[in-house]
Amino acid sequence: MQQYVLHSLQQLQAHLSQSRQLYQVVDNHGDAYWQHQAQPPFPVLSQQRPLSSAKSFFFAEQETLYVFDGQFFRETIPKPEPFVLFGVQSCDLMAIHYQDIFFEQDPYYQARRQQALLVGVDCVHPCQNGFCNLVDAGPGVRDNTADLILHPLDDDRWLLIVVTEPGRAALQGLALTPATGHAQNLRSDNLTQCEHEFDDHSYILEGIEKLNRDQAPDAFWQQLAIQCIACSGCTTLCPTCSCYGTQNQAVLQDAPDKPPSQARQVRFWDSCLYEGFQREASLHHPAEQAGERVKRFWYHKFSDDFLPEFGRYGCVGCGRCEQTCPGVIGVHSVMKRIVKDA
């Protein structure tokens, strides 16, 4: 892999934004979120994990799948302009990699994904609630998840690693200084140091083991689920959650008192924590009790059953569920309780 040293990110941001829409995480009074950056000067790269991951760039919160005009069905595959996600952290990149597998055959997801260039950034300090180091998702960006990787060497310099051919092509025309072995070693040292800075989260590994040995009985999950208010905060923010629902809608073209002239099918983010998510038309419900739904969520994140399909667990260790759940049943709380009570 080619590696370079940059003395400023501005030049790289300006170069990439000439041929693509550039999105970057920005800090605003303690919150961090993705924002379109149209022109220089570009903001400094945030060290903070944004509350919302990058998943909505590819899997839209709501979108029309097709339109029926009374005679023909018309697909509505999106046609986005090329774009770059500049500075995606390793856990969120691993989540995109996971979603790439889940949505491999989905033309709506793939239409957006194929227009994206992913510029990852290594984390050099653990984030609050993060445990990417335990689930093979960080703190260093994994090579198979990004086109380009950035690593902060010191206050002024960045290591730029070219991973893919689209990444190499995106740099064409940019004057770059090859990196020395010293810079590459520094990256390795910084990542090792970062791994040592994580708190002891070994209860998560213990919890995963107990969960896979089926040592958490139904009564445990029912007790836990008393605290779930089905707000869907966890499934909305989790970067690997991909449950969706669809709905047929009539489109009124002229006036509300006239019959609809079109119908469309809309897809929207759903949540497996909602009571209605799995209810079937016959009214049979495979997860009628809230405890069954909460259990199902956590099995989808940590069951060994999904390893053959995805090659990893469905959790990338971002910690967002812990941060957002008003019922205190995010990953740290759940795993501590499995270890202690199950």
Query: Does residue 94 interact with ligand SF4 by CB under 6 A?
Result: no
Stretch that binds ligand SF4, among 1-9, 170-178, 231-239, 256-264 (CB under 6 A): 231-239
Cβ atoms of 112 and 81 within 8 Å: the answer is: no
Structure tokens at 308: 């053959």
Instruction: For residue 199, give the DSSP letter.
Output: -
Nearer to ligand SF4, 137 or 146 (CB): 137
Structure tokens at 9: 């990110």
User: Out of 88, 121, 211, 228, which residue is the one contacting ligand SF4 (CB under 6 A)?
Assistant: 228
Nearer to ligand SF4, 9 or 318 (CB): 318
User: Out of 179, 191, 331, 339, which residue is the one contacting ligand SF4 (CB under 6 A)?
Assistant: 331
CB 301 to ligand SF4: min, Å? 5
Nearer to ligand SF4, 150 or 273 (CB): 273
Nearer to ligand SF4, 158 or 313 (CB): 313
Distance between CA atoms of residues 184 and 280, nearest Å: 55
How many other CB atoms sit within 10 Å of the CB of residue 263?
Answer: 15
Report helix, strand and coil shares of the chain as percent, to nearest 5. 35, 20, 45
Stretch that binds ligand SF4, among 28-36, 55-63, 228-236, 257-265 (CB under 6 A): 228-236
- E strands, 29-138, are 31-37, 62-68, 73-75, 83-89, 116-121
- CB half-sphere exposure, 54, CA atoms < 13 A: 32
Query: Does residue 329 interact with ligand SF4 by CB under 6 A?
Result: yes
Structure tokens at 296: 């199902």
User: Out of 123, 150, 238, 287, which residue is the one contacting ligand SF4 (CB under 6 A)?
Assistant: 238
Distance between CA atoms of residues 172 and 258, nearest Å: 56
CB 78 to ligand SF4: min, Å? 25
Query: Does residue 243 interact with ligand SF4 by CB under 6 A?
Result: no
User: Out of 134, 231, 263, 266, which residue is the one contacting ligand SF4 (CB under 6 A)?
Assistant: 231
Cβ atoms of 36 and 46 within 8 Å: the answer is: no
User: Out of 240, 264, 267, 295, which residue is the one contacting ligand SF4 (CB under 6 A)?
Assistant: 240
Cβ atoms of 136 and 276 within 8 Å: the answer is: no
Query: Does residue 263 interact with ligand SF4 by CB under 6 A?
Result: no
Query: Does residue 232 interact with ligand SF4 by CB under 6 A?
Result: yes
Structure tokens at 47: 């060290």
Stretch that binds ligand SF4, among 75-83, 149-157, 181-189, 225-233 (CB under 6 A): 225-233
Peptide bond connecting 41 to the previous residue in cis, omega within 30 degrees of 0 = yes
Query: Does residue 194 interact with ligand SF4 by CB under 6 A?
Result: no
Query: Does residue 273 interact with ligand SF4 by CB under 6 A?
Result: yes
User: Out of 85, 325, 335, 342, which residue is the one contacting ligand SF4 (CB under 6 A)?
Assistant: 325
Peptide bond connecting 260 to the previous residue in cis, omega within 30 degrees of 0 = no
CB 332 to ligand SF4: min, Å? 9
Query: Does residue 205 interact with ligand SF4 by CB under 6 A?
Result: no
Nearest to 132 by CA among 186, 185, 94, 101: 94
The SS3 assignment for 117 reads: strand
Nearer to ligand SF4, 6 or 135 (CB): 135
CB 231 to ligand SF4: min, Å? 4
CB 98 to ligand SF4: min, Å? 9
User: Out of 118, 127, 287, 321, which residue is the one contacting ligand SF4 (CB under 6 A)?
Assistant: 321
Distance between CA atoms of residues 5 and 265, nearest Å: 49
For tokens 């009985």, the residue is 217
Cβ atoms of 201 and 131 within 8 Å: the answer is: yes
How many other CB atoms sit within 10 Å of the CB of residue 221?
Answer: 23
Residues engaged in binding ligand SF4 (CB under 6 A): 228-234, 237-240, 273, 301, 315-321, 324-327, 329, 331
